[in-house]
Structure 1
Amino acid sequence: MHKLQWDDLSDAARNAIEARCGAVLKAESAERGIMPGVAARLDTECRESAFLKAIPRDGPAVRLHLRERAANLGMADGVPAPPMLWSGEAGGWLLLLFHFVDGGRSADLSPGSRDLPGVLDAVSRIEGSGGVLPPVSVNLEMLKKTAAAFLAEGLGGSRRGTYAEALDALPWAALEGDELLHYDLHSGNLLATGRETFVIDWSFACRGARWVDAALLAPRLVEAGHTPARAEALVAGLPTWDAAPAEAVTGLAALWTMFREYKALYGPREHRGFRTRAAEAGWAWLRHLARW
C-alpha cells in the first residue's frame, strides 16, 4: 500500500497547516506504523517541529483519526500524550497537528528495562471522559467475530476447550464504563525519551472500564519476556486493577489471543510472524489466568 506523503496533500490542506505552524521547510514521513494516511514530522520556519496526521475526509479510515481527535479533546490534563496543537479540515482532508516529541523511541518492555517504571506511570495516568467515543464493545466486535470463526472452524487443538470456556464465562457488562481507554498499548505506542514516556496513536480509543487497558497491556509484557506471574504483578499496581473481575480478564485474554492466532494463520504473510509471537504470549497469559 502506498504510504501518503506531505506532497500528496491538497494545496488547501498544506496552506491550512502552514497558517498554524509556519512555512514547512521539511516533511519527514514516519517510518514505523501501518495506519493509512500521512504521518510526518514537519520542520518549520519557526525552528520548531510538529507531527502531522492527515487522512482524506472521504476515506474509510477517517473514523480512526476522528477517534484520535475525540480522545485528545476528552483526556485529562495529566495524561502523558503529546498535546494536540490544532485540528481541522481543508481541501478534502482531516488534519491533526501534534507537538513533536524529540528523541522519542519505542519503549523497551523487557524484564529489567529502565523504561518499565515510566511506562507503568504513563499508563496509570490515562484518564478522562470517554465522551463521544464508541464503547469498548465496538472494538471487541471484530475480536468476537474472529473468535466465533476460530471455534467454528475447529481451530486451536488442545487449547480449544480453554478458549471456549473462558469466552463463555466472560461477563461483557463488566468491561463497560465511561472512562477513556487507549485500547492499543504496545511498545510502538509508548514513546520513551529517557526522561518521560508518552502514550501516542489514539486511533482505537474508546470508553469502558479503566482496568481494560491494564488487562490488554499484560500479554504485551509477556510477549516482551516477562513471566505471566510477573506481568500480573506489574499491572496489579495500576488504578482499578483490583476492581477487574477475574472472569472478565480471562475472557478478554481468550479473545485477544484467538484473534492473533487466527491472524497468524490467515492474515497477511508479512504479519504472521509477529502475530504468532503475540498469540503464544497471549496463550501463556491465559493459562496463567486459568491457573493451569
Structure 2
Amino acid sequence: MTVRPQWDDLPGGVRDTVQARIGQILKAEPVTRGLMPGIAARLHTEDGGTVFLKAVSGGSPAASLYARERRAGALLPPGLPAPRLLWSGDVEGWIVLLHEYVDGRDADLSPGSPDVPLVLDTLMVLNETLTPCPGRDGIPDVAENVAMLQAKAAHLLALPAGDLPYRAMYETALRGFHPDALGGDTLLHYDLHAGNLRIGHGQPYAIDWAFAARGAAWIDVVMLAPRFVAAGHTPEQAEALLARVPAWRSAPEGAVTALAALWTLFRLYKARFGPEEGREFRARAAEAGQAWVRHRT
C-alpha cells in the first residue's frame, strides 16, 4: 500500500511558509481517505482555527492535477458551496494549497436519505453559477479528461474474446460517439461522488476540484448516476432523481450512454490493472456502472 508523506515530511521551508501565512501549527491531522498522491492534512493553528492543506512534489505525476485544482479554486466565485482556496504557492519544489476546512461527513446518497435532495439542489447551483465558465486559462476542455477514459476502454475492448464480459453492450453504447458531444461552457467538477460532497453546516460542499474541466453542464449530473446506483438506487430510480435537474433534460441520449460506458470501462480497467489498494473500490463502482449501462442499452 502507498504510504503518504505527512506534515513533518515537508521541507522546513515549506512548513515555515505555511506557518507564515496562517500561524503556528499546533497539530497536523493526516487525512488518509482518497487516492490522490501527496500530503493531505487538517492543520490546527494557535488561534484555534483549522485549515486544509494539500501539497505534492512538483515532480509527481499528480502535480498537474494540483495545478488544475489551484486554478479552479481561484475561479470559483464567493458563496459557491465549495471550500475557498485561501492561499497557494510553489515552495522549494512543492505545490502547496490551503483551503477552508469543511468539518462534516460524506454525503449519504442511499434511497430515502435527506442528503439526496440537498445534493440535487447543489448540482443545480453549480450548473447555474459556473455557466458560463468563469475562466479558461489552466482549465482544459473535458475532452482531455475523457481521452483518458477512452484509452483505458480501448485497452479492454482489445482484449481477447471472452476476457471482457458484456463486450457487445459496451461496443453498442460507444458506437458513433465523438467527444465533441460533450462540449460546452460550464466549469465542471467532473468527479462528484459521496466523498467529494462533504455535508457541513447543513449543506453539501463540493470538494477536491483536481479534475475540473470545461464542458457541457449535464456531464456533472450524468456522472452522479452510477454513484446513486452504487448507493442502492436502481438505474431507473437514479435517472428519475437526476431528471429533477434541468441540465439532465438537455443531455443527448447517445452521449449519455457512451459516457456511462466509458466511465464504467475505466473503473473496470483500474479494478484489474490499477494500484492494489484501489481495486476493490473500483470493482464496486464498475458493477454499479455496468448495471446503469445495461439499463440504457
Residues 1:267 and 1:56: Cα distance change in structure 2 (over 3 Å): closer
- What does residue 151 of structure 1 align with? 157
CA distance in 1, matches of 2:171, 2:34: 32
> Residue 4 of structure 2 corresponds to which residue in structure 1?
3
Report the Cα distance in structure 2 between the residues aligned to 1:35 and 1:234, rounded to whole angstroms: 30
Residues 79 and 122, structure 1, Cα contact 8 Å, conserved in 2: no
Q: Hey, what does 1:131 align to over in structure 2?
A: 136
Q: Residues 13-62 of structure 1: CA distance to partner in whole angstroms, max 9, x if unpaired?
A: 11211111111111111021121111111111121111111112232211
Q: How many pairs were matched up?
A: 288
The CA deviation at 1:194 is 5.8
Distance 2:259 2:179 in 1: 9
- In 2, Cα distance between equivalents of 1:274 and 1:59: 23
Please say if 1:164 is aligned against 2:165.
no
Return the letter of the residue paired with 1:134.
P
Q: Which runs of 5+ in 1 are unaligned?
A: none
Q: Match for 1:46: what amino acid? A: D
TM-score calculated relative to the size of structure 2 = 0.92
Cα distance in structure 1, aligned partners of 2:5 and 2:277: 20
Q: State yes or no: 1:230 paired with 2:230.
A: no
The SS at the match of 1:185 is coil
Q: Which residue of 1 aligns with 2:71?
A: 70
Secondary structure of residue in 2 paired with 1:112: coil
Query: 1:6-85 alignment to 2 at 5 Å?
Result: 6-85=7-86
- Identical counterparts, % of pairs: 52
AA at the equivalent of 2:261: A
Q: CA deviation at 1:249?
A: 0.1
1:169-180 matches, cutoff 5 A: 169-180=176-187
Greater shift after overlay, 52-61 or 219-228?
A: 52-61
* 1:93 lines up with 2:94 in the alignment: yes
Partner Cα distance (1:253, 1:265) in 2: 19
TM-score, length of structure 1 as denominator length: 0.94
Do the aligned partners of 1:131 and 1:178 also contact (CA within 8 Å) in 2? no
Q: Where in structure 2 are there 5+ consecutive unaligned residues?
A: none
2:113: which partner in 1?
113
Query: Is 1:211 aligned to 2:211, yes or no?
Result: no
Residue 252 (structure 1) aligns with? 259
SS of 1:96 mapped into structure 2: strand
Q: Distance in 2 between matches of 1:31 and 1:263?
A: 20
One-letter code aligned to 2:234: T
Do the aligned residues in 1 keep the contact of 2:108 with 2:115 (CA within 8 Å)? yes
1:193 correspondence with 2:200: yes
